[in-house]
Structure 1
Amino acid sequence: MSRDNFVAKSTEGRLSSGHMADDDNQPRRRGLGGEKKPTINDVARLAGVSKKTVSRVINQSPFVKADTREKINAIIAEIGFSPDPQARGLAFRRSFLIGLVYDNPNPQYVVNMQLGMLDAMRGSGYELVVHPCNRGNPTFLTDFRRFIERQKLWGVVLTPSVSEDDRVKIILDEIGCGYIRIASVPVDEPAHIIVSNDRVGGRAAARHLAELGHTTIGFISGPGTFRSSHERRGGFEEELKDRKLKLTDDYIMQGAYTFETGISCGAELLKRTPRPTAIFAANDEMAAGVLHAIRRANLRCPEDVSVIGFDDFQIASSVWPPLTTVRTPTREIGRMAAEKLIGHGGEEGEDHSREAASATSPALVVRDSTGPAPR
């Protein structure tokens, strides 16, 4: 449609006040020559898509098909549509900022999560704001609310263990801020959750050690406030039980997902009689600490004690010997979370990823820190 024809067809429906009503029943001013200014609703109608899809094209979101983008841009150029920045800001009433909220003590986890989110946000017009917090702080919830309201966030990605706190969800619902929760089990509706399935990874660790012939096994859990700690242990014990093995209380230590607690817990386990022939630490930082404790005790890994970790962060391949571990695709999870939040796949006629459940599956990575049980 040419602009002249568009203007001619658009002269109907003028209001006596000198304004015209658009498809949302909101008044629009006439142009300088008295003609009706084209709006985003007109672009959407002519392109046969939703206003949301047009908005994505205007904001240079990568989550629009190339042919759809070209068609919308051609219509915008043909009818002379120009977005009003002030009207756009009023319509969204939020900044184009996405928050990442975490209380995870593992810096590599946070870095990988950020990289994944930035992968998805590149070219979308959105920016990332990071908010570390401490769930044990008495002002945690107040500080969280202030962060969301002050930044006027478009949405927020919540990582464990913040994601497992339903009080945070209530605050976000009250404010009207979009969110995605990353957790080891489903803790919300599919539109708001990405499940990491940590229990599956725990089973994989137990299966590997059992197949190597280990029967006296030590375990170092993460903090009790993290659901992932319970899921990793739960899967580990379930697999051992299926193989007629048992994880006894004397061989269970609680760490804090830190290198230092890996050293201290590992040292305690090595004092047990009989000494464990294998130790499963619930993350790589603690597993690296166990390797340190083994060297301090003048023992060898894996000849005397096998060690297996969880996550497959950079430290797993940097220590000696390189760690056998359970890989969780943290960067991929971050990318999925940001895409789900922004609304990847939201074009007309396509599946809406926000409405679909998302999940990842851990996988065992065998390196040099595990070997057959000593005879």
Structure 2
Amino acid sequence: MTTRRPRTAASDTADPPAADGGASTINDIARLAGVSKKTVSRVINRSPLVRPDTREKVEALMEKVGYVPDPMARGLAFRKSFLIGMVSDNPNAQYIVNMQNGALDGLRGSGYELVVHPCDSKSADYIAGVRRFVLQHRLAGVFLVPRVSEDEALVDMLREIGCRYARIAAVSLDEPWRMITTNDRDGAVEVAKYLDSLGHRNIGLITGPTRYLSARERGGGFLEALRARGVELGADHVVEGGYTFESGVACAERLLALTPRPTAIFALNDEMAAGVCKAAFRLGLRIPEDLSVVGFDDSPLASRLWPSLTTVRLPIREMGMLAAQLLQREENRKQTPPLVTPHLVIRESCQPPVAERR
């Protein structure tokens, strides 16, 4: 006959589990704190029904043992998802990183987690892929980054399956409570006014892909503002890039081969503007003495270049934060939509053309 040793109190007074990224459970926290599992759950969900001293004790224990609530498990327990999705198709890696960091800022302390789904909107089945992503993760909501934010077929699919969504776009495309509108055209108009004020008339423009609304808004606003000032760009002075560094180099080489050579180039994002700088240096041109360069976005790259880049600041990280916060609210047709205002940041990459300086 086998004799079992009686359970001792040691198991209840042992040191907390090590913080190993998930070894601890909600039951561990309840046992160590001397409270019920329901009380720990209330602390996690910021219920006002928990006494301050109990809340402080439970939160200190969770931090000590490295306990992080599993959003999927919480979703099952509360019949509610705690996952927010970000869907993007953008060739600019820095843009996506900034947007993602902003979303994390917006979710911090909320109990929600971020799940990212990069996709190729040129693929025939990309909408089906987004649908699978949303349903498999049982998302509480999803925010759409340009260019996918501009796709009405994708939005129709999200409505069909009942998924909450927010859209980030250059102009308003939806109900106000679903939109983060970036007003890209206003920033491009500022660039036109600035280059005109410096005396530039022979200007090159590197657009983004025409399927991007941002490219059409930025480029259209720039050209219209120049035209209103009596400056008309020829067709050979406008070239389409891909929002990538490599496309900026290639497009700049085409523009700088023109005779006479442009005295200024406006690239519709900072990656392409950096490509312009590389192409200019290859040709032995000095910036800004021989060529003025302007970008768009004010990414970290802009201030790291030498000379530092004059660019339009679009608060990308803030946009991601606003989108994440928007999805945490209940729909409210009366709420004021978040306001995003681009503005020109003047640095060292521009000055009047040679003729104007004489």
TM-score range, shorter chain: 0.7 to 0.9
Q: Deviations over 1:260-305 (max 9, x none)?
A: 0000000100011111000000000000000000011111111111
- Whether 1:358 aligns to 2:338 is yes
Structure-2 change in CA distance of 1:189 and 1:56 (3 Å): farther
Paired AA for residue 156 in structure 1: V
Question: Which residue of the other structure, out of 105, 108, 113, is the alignment partner of 1:122?
Answer: 108
C-alpha displacement of 1:195: 0.2
Measured in 2, the distance between the counterparts of 1:56 and 1:236 equals 53
Q: Deviations over 1:105-126 (max 9, x none)?
A: 1111111111111111111110
Match of 1:173?
159
- Conserved 8 A contact 1:197-1:359: no
Match of 2:216?
230
Paired AA for residue 360 in structure 1: V
Match of 2:30?
none
- Whether 1:155 aligns to 2:155 is no
- Structure 1 alignment gaps of length 5 or more: 1-54, 61-68, 78-84
* TM-score under structure 2 length normalisation: 0.78
Matches within 5 A, 1:174-253: 174-253=160-239
Structure-2 change in CA distance of 1:92 and 1:232 (3 Å): farther
Structure-2 change in CA distance of 1:151 and 1:338 (3 Å): same
- Conserved 8 A contact 2:85-2:117: yes
- Whether 1:288 aligns to 2:274 is yes
Measured in 2, the distance between the counterparts of 1:230 and 1:180 equals 21
Per the alignment, in what secondary structure is the counterpart of residue 310 of structure 1? strand
Structure-2 change in CA distance of 1:95 and 1:354 (3 Å): farther
Match of 1:258?
244
Match of 2:131?
145
* TM-score under structure 1 length normalisation: 0.75
Match of 1:267?
253
C-alpha displacement of 1:234: 1.2
Structure-2 change in CA distance of 1:268 and 1:150 (3 Å): same
C-alpha displacement of 1:215: 0.4
C-alpha displacement of 1:137: 0.8
Matches within 5 A, 1:46-65: 59-60=45-46
Paired AA for residue 325 in structure 2: E
Per the alignment, in what secondary structure is the counterpart of residue 99 of structure 2? helix
Count of residues in correspondence between the two structures = 299
- Whether 1:314 aligns to 2:294 is no
- Conserved 8 A contact 1:279-1:307: yes
C-alpha displacement of 1:355: 3.7
Question: Which residue of the other structure, out of 100, 106, 112, is the alignment partner of 2:86?
Answer: 100
Q: Deviations over 1:293-347 (max 9, x none)?
A: 001111111111100000000111111211100000001111111111111xx6x
Measured in 2, the distance between the counterparts of 1:297 and 1:177 equals 52
Paired AA for residue 369 in structure 1: S
Q: Deviations over 1:123-172 (max 9, x none)?
A: 11100000000000111111111111111100001000000001111111
Match of 2:284?
298
Q: Deviations over 1:189-212 (max 9, x none)?
A: 001111000000110111111111
- Identical-pair percentage: 52
Q: Deviations over 1:55-111 (max 9, x none)?
A: 998623xxxxxxxx75x5469x9xxxxxxx999846864421000110011111111
Match of 1:276?
262
- Conserved 8 A contact 2:72-2:82: no
- Conserved 8 A contact 2:42-2:50: no
Question: Which residue of the other structure, out of 348, 352, 356, is the alignment partner of 1:368?
Answer: 348
C-alpha displacement of 1:243: 1.3
Measured in 1, the distance between the counterparts of 2:129 and 2:145 equals 16
Measured in 1, the distance between the counterparts of 2:234 and 2:184 equals 21
Per the alignment, in what secondary structure is the counterpart of residue 354 of structure 2? coil
C-alpha displacement of 1:372: 0.8
Structure-2 change in CA distance of 1:359 and 1:247 (3 Å): farther
- Structure 2 alignment gaps of length 5 or more: 1-40, 55-70
Paired AA for residue 123 in structure 1: G
Q: Deviations over 1:171-191 (max 9, x none)?
A: 111111111000000010001
